[in-house]
Structure 1
Amino acid sequence: MKKTSLLILFLAAIQFCFAQNPLVTHMFTADPTARVFDGKLYVYPSSDTYPPAGREKEFPRFCMPGYHAFSLENGSTWKDHGWILKENDVPWGDKDTYAMWAPDCIKKGDTYYYYYPAKPKDGTSFRRIGVGTSKNPTGPFKWEKSYIKGISGIDPGLFVDDNDKGYLYFGGGKELFVAPLKDNMKEISAEPIKVEGLPAGYKEGSFAFKKDGIYYFTFAHVFPDEGYTIGYATAKNPLGPFTYQGKIMDNIGNGTNHHSIVKYNDQWILFYHWWDISGYNKLRSMRADYITFKKDGTIKKVTPTIRGIGIPKIGDTIQIDRYNEISKANIAFVGGENEPNGWMVCDTKMMGFVKFNKVDFGNGEATKIEARVASGQRTGSFEIRLGNPKGKLIATFPIEYTGGWSSWKTIEADITEKVTGIKNIVVVFKSDWGSEKAVNLNWLKLK
C-alpha cells in the first residue's frame, strides 16, 4: 500500500510539470541553472517555501529549504526527480536556517559535480560553497564533508572550458569573483580574483558560457532606478577582463531575477524566474524563453512570454492558456477541486479564439484530442483548427454542462484527418451571439 501511494504521488508530480511558462506549478522554484548532458536538458533550481508557523518574522526575504532537480521528458513535460539535497543534510551546514540559495551542476569526464551555498555552522561566513559528486545527473550525490576552502559567498556558477579546465564564479554584492579549480573540481588552484569590467551596483547570479570563441559572463545586476536586471559582459579569456555589453532582460515586477543560458536542440534558451503562481516575489517560479544572438555576438534583449519554450508532443499537456494570440476570450487562474495550479481560458465569446504555436503531431499517430473543460451551460461547441481561426478543421467538441464553471471534466474528440509534423493550432469558440462565456478550457492533449 505504501509503495502504491508513493508511486501515485510521483506520477502526480510528473503530470503537474509543464514546459510552458512557468515551467513547474506544483512547487515554487527559483534561480534555475539549466544544463544539457548527453543531449538531455536538465534544470537545477533552488526552491522557495512558506516560513514555518511562528517563525515568519525570521524570514523577511526568502525561505529556502533545499533543492530538487528536473529533466525535460518527451517534448514539453518536466519530470521532478525529487530532493537532491535538504538543508539539514549539509555535513558542514547550520540547521533549520532555510538558507539554501542558488545551486549549479556541471559534468566533467564521467562525473557530475553539484555546487551549492549554505550557512556554515562554524560561523566563518555569511555563506560557504559546498560540492557533491555523482555518476548520475540527478544523484544520489556524495557530499564533501567540508566546504571549499578559500572562497565564501553565494551563487556558485561553474564553467568547464574546451581544455577541461574548470572555473568557479561566485559572490554577491558590489563585486563578483572567479577562481580556477584543480582537476578534482573540489579545490581552487589559485586565489580568487575580482571579475573586472562590470558596472557598479549590486550583482549576483554569476553564470558563464562560451559561444564562437567568446566567453560570456552573465549576472544579475541591480540598477538603483530599476531593480534587478540580467546583464552580460564578454571577454577573450574566462578570467577576463570583461567588457560590459548591456542587459539581457529588464527588471520584472520589482523583484529578483536569476538565470542561466544553454543551447538545446540548436536553440539558445534563457532560464529565469518570476512569481506567476504566488503573486508574491518571495515565492518564485522558474520560466524559460528563447534567446537570440546577433551577428556581432551581442544578445538581443529578451521579453518574457507566457508561451515559453517546448514543443508538446503526443501525450504532453498543451497548456492552451499559455497562448501566442487570443481574441474575445481571457485567461484567469484556474478554479475547482483537483486542478493543479495554473490558468484557464475563460470568458469565451462567439468566434473568440486562442492560438498556440508549435505542436508536434509526429507522423500522424494522433487520432484523438482530450480537453479539460468546465461549463455552466449546454449551448455551442469549440473547434480545433490548424494555422488560423479559418484554417483546416481537425476536431470539434460539443459544449455540455459539467456541473458549473468550476466543475471540471475531461472530454475527448476524434481527429478527423491525419495531421503530421509541427503545426500551430487554434481553438475557436462558438456559442450564441451575445453570450459572455461558452466554456472554460484548461488544457488539451493529443492521443
Structure 2
Amino acid sequence: MKTWMCAMLMTMAVGASAQNPIISGQYSADPTARVFNGKVYLYPSHDIPSPIEKLKEWFCMADYHVFSSSNLTEWQDHGVIVSQDKVPWVQDGSYTMWAPDCVEKDGKYYFYFPAAPKGEEKGFGIGVAVADHPEGPFMPMWKPIEGVHGIDPCVLIDKDGQAYIYWAGAGLHMAKLKPNMTELASEPKQVEGLPEGFKEGPFAFERNGKYYFTFPWVREKDGTETLAYAMADHPMGPFTFKGIIMDESPTKCWTNHHSIVEYQGQWYLFYHHNDYSPKFDKNRSVRIDSLNFNPDGTIQKVIPTLRGVGLTKARSHIQIDRYSALQGKGIGIEYLDKNNCFAGWKTLFSKSNTALIYNKVDFGNEKVEEITVRAKSVKGGVLVVRADGKKGNIIAKVKIPKSAAWKNVRAQVLHAPQGVHALHVSLQSGADVEVDWLGFI
C-alpha cells in the first residue's frame, strides 16, 4: 500500500513547477504578469522552432497562451488565446506574435499584441483582442491601433481611470488611450530622459504615487540586454533614469524582457532566459524572482536564481538541481538529456563532502515517514538530508547502490520536520552520485 501511495503522490505532482524556469514543456518569453481575481495571470510570447527557412535563426512566434497560478509555483495552461491565423489584419505565416500585454477595465480584458500587418513589407502593428474573462476567449479587433507602429505594447491604467500605452520601435513611445481602450487619445510622444543604447520592451507601473518606466537596455556595443528603469511623478514623465534592475546574462542570452507585479504583499520580477535552449537564445523560458525597493522608492538589483519563488511541497518531486546554494568543489548541474532539454536537470555529487541547499520546502503539519530519491551511481554512496543546514537534524540517510540505471531509492525518515524548512543535501561517502529528484510521503 505504501509503495502504491508513493507512486500515486509522485505522479500527481508531475508538472508542478516551483522553481525557474516556471513553464515547462514549451518555450515562453516576454512575460507580462497581471493580477486578476486574486490570481496571477501570465501572458508570455511563445517561441517555437521555425517551420520556415526565413526564421531559422531568428524569433518565431505564431500564437499566445495564457497561464494562471494562485501560489506562483503551480501554473495552469489555459491554452491558445490568440493565433496569427485567426487575426484578420495579420500577415499570413509571418510568425511575428511578439511580446504582449493584458489589462482589465470595466469588466473587460484587453489583450495587446504586435504582429506584421498584411500588405506591408516591413514594420509592426499593435492589435487588441477583447474578452470577458482573463483566460478568454478573446476576440481580436479587425484592424490594429491606428497611429501605433512598433512592438512590445504595455498599458498602464492610472488611478483616475486614464489609460496610457507604451511601445518600442525606433525608440520608446507613449500616448493616451481613449476610454474604449482601442484608439489613441493623444499624439504619440517619445519617452525622453533615458540613456543611449538599444532599448525595447517597456513596462510601466505605479507604486506609492511614483511611476516606474522599465525597459531592456543594451548599454554596451554588441552586448546583451540589462533590465533598467526610470521614475517620474506622472505616467508620461518627465522620467529620470535611475539605474539597473538586472545585469546582463553571464551565459549570453541576448534578450531579456520582463514585467513587475505585486502579489499578496510581495513584488516580483518576471523575466526570461534560454534555460531549455542553451545553444539557441531565440528560444526562451520564463523565470520569476522576488523584487524589493529601497526606502526612497528606488529598486534593489535582482540577482537571478534557479530556485525562484514560492514554497515547494515536500510531497512532490523536489528538483534539487534548482538549488539555492552549492557547497564544496565537485558538485554541479547537467541536463538529464542533452538532446531534450525539457527533460530537466540532474545534480552531480562527484565527491564526498559536497552539498547543496534548497530553500522553502513545506512539510505541512503531518509528519512524513519515508523519502524517495531518484538516483544512479557507478560507485555508490550515502546521501544525507538535513533540515536547515549542515548542523541541522538529519531527516534521512539514503544509501545509493551501484547502478548505471536510474533507480528510485527509498529510506525511512529519521527525524520528520513540520512546517517550512530548507533542505541540506550532502554526499557523506562515495562518489559520482547523480540525483534527478527527491520527495517525501
Fold match by TM threshold 0.5 = yes
Q: 1:61 to 1:414 in 2, by over 3 A?
A: same
Match of 2:155 in 1: 158
Deviation of 1:163 after TM superposition, in Å, equals 2.1
Kept after mapping to 1: 8 A contact 2:13/2:317: no
Paired AA for residue 422 in structure 2: N
Kept after mapping to 2: 8 A contact 1:16/1:340: no
Match of 1:362 in 2: 364
Question: What are the Cα deviations for residues 34-72 of structure 1, in whole angstroms up to 9, with x where unaligned?
Answer: 1122221222111212122xx334444211222122223
Q: 1:50 to 1:106 in 2, by over 3 A?
A: same
Q: Which of 153, 166, 169 lines up with 2:166 in the alignment? A: 169
Match of 2:336 in 1: 334
Q: Which of 430, 433, 436 lines up with 2:428 in the alignment? A: 430
Kept after mapping to 1: 8 A contact 2:22/2:73: no
Distance in structure 2 (CA, Å) of the matches to 1:392 and 1:409: 26
Deviation of 1:86 after TM superposition, in Å, equals 1.9
SS at match of 2:439: strand
Deviation of 1:125 after TM superposition, in Å, equals 6.0
Deviation of 1:299 after TM superposition, in Å, equals 1.2
Distance in structure 1 (CA, Å) of the matches to 2:324 and 2:57: 37
Between stretches 83-92 and 206-215, larger displacement belongs to 83-92
Paired AA for residue 200 in structure 2: E
> TM-score, length-normalised on structure 1?
0.88
SS at match of 2:260: strand
Please say if 1:249 is aligned against 2:243.
no
Deviation of 1:129 after TM superposition, in Å, equals 0.9
Kept after mapping to 2: 8 A contact 1:313/1:446: no
Q: 1:370 to 1:266 in 2, by over 3 A?
A: farther
Deviation of 1:109 after TM superposition, in Å, equals 3.1
Distance in structure 1 (CA, Å) of the matches to 2:70 and 2:353: 35
Distance in structure 1 (CA, Å) of the matches to 2:167 and 2:382: 55
Deviation of 1:431 after TM superposition, in Å, equals 2.8
Q: What is the correspondence of 1:239-318 to structure 2 with a 5 Å cutoff?
A: 239-252=236-249, 253=252, 255-279=254-278, 280-318=280-318
Distance in structure 2 (CA, Å) of the matches to 1:329 and 1:373: 15
Please say if 1:220 is aligned against 2:208.
no
Q: 1:257 to 1:74 in 2, by over 3 A?
A: closer
Match of 1:395 in 2: 396
Please say if 1:188 is aligned against 2:190.
no
SS at match of 2:204: strand
SS at match of 2:110: strand
Deviation of 1:295 after TM superposition, in Å, equals 1.0
Question: What are the Cα deviations for residues 182-218 of structure 1, in whole angstroms up to 9, with x where unaligned?
Answer: 2222222222222222222221101001111100010
Match of 2:73 in 1: 76
Between stretches 260-269 and 231-240, larger displacement belongs to 260-269
SS at match of 2:150: coil
Paired AA for residue 287 in structure 2: R
Paired AA for residue 393 in structure 1: I
Q: 1:245 to 1:13 in 2, by over 3 A?
A: farther
Kept after mapping to 1: 8 A contact 2:360/2:421: yes
Distance in structure 2 (CA, Å) of the matches to 1:368 and 1:69: 37
Question: What are the Cα deviations for residues 3-28 of structure 1, in whole angstroms up to 9, with x where unaligned?
Answer: xxxxxxxxx99944523122223111
Question: What are the Cα deviations for residues 239-291 of structure 1, in whole angstroms up to 9, with x where unaligned?
Answer: 11111111111222160111111112322111111112211211111112222
Please say if 1:441 is aligned against 2:428.
no
Match of 1:351 in 2: 353
| Identical-residue share of aligned pairs (%) | 43
Paired AA for residue 284 in structure 1: R
Q: 1:364 to 1:338 in 2, by over 3 A?
A: farther
SS at match of 2:206: strand
Kept after mapping to 2: 8 A contact 1:203/1:221: yes
Deviation of 1:221 after TM superposition, in Å, equals 1.5
Distance in structure 2 (CA, Å) of the matches to 1:13 and 1:118: 38
Kept after mapping to 2: 8 A contact 1:32/1:46: yes
Kept after mapping to 2: 8 A contact 1:172/1:202: no
Match of 1:112 in 2: 109
Please say if 1:92 is aligned against 2:80.
no
Distance in structure 1 (CA, Å) of the matches to 2:78 and 2:101: 16
Query: What are structure 2's unaligned runs of at least 5 residues?
Result: 1-10
> TM-score, length-normalised on structure 2?
0.89
Q: 1:338 to 1:305 in 2, by over 3 A?
A: closer
Distance in structure 2 (CA, Å) of the matches to 1:14 and 1:272: 25
Question: What are the Cα deviations for residues 399-424 of structure 1, in whole angstroms up to 9, with x where unaligned?
Answer: 1345x1xx334444444444222211
Deviation of 1:363 after TM superposition, in Å, equals 2.4
Between stretches 162-171 and 66-75, larger displacement belongs to 66-75
Paired AA for residue 207 in structure 1: F
Distance in structure 2 (CA, Å) of the matches to 1:240 and 1:316: 47
Paired AA for residue 104 in structure 2: K
Distance in structure 2 (CA, Å) of the matches to 1:76 and 1:23: 7
Kept after mapping to 2: 8 A contact 1:17/1:79: no
Distance in structure 1 (CA, Å) of the matches to 2:226 and 2:318: 30
Paired AA for residue 96 in structure 2: A
SS at match of 2:304: coil
Q: 1:380 to 1:200 in 2, by over 3 A?
A: closer
Match of 2:3 in 1: none
Q: What is the correspondence of 1:225-244 to structure 2 with a 5 Å cutoff?
A: 225=221, 226-244=223-241
SS at match of 1:43: strand
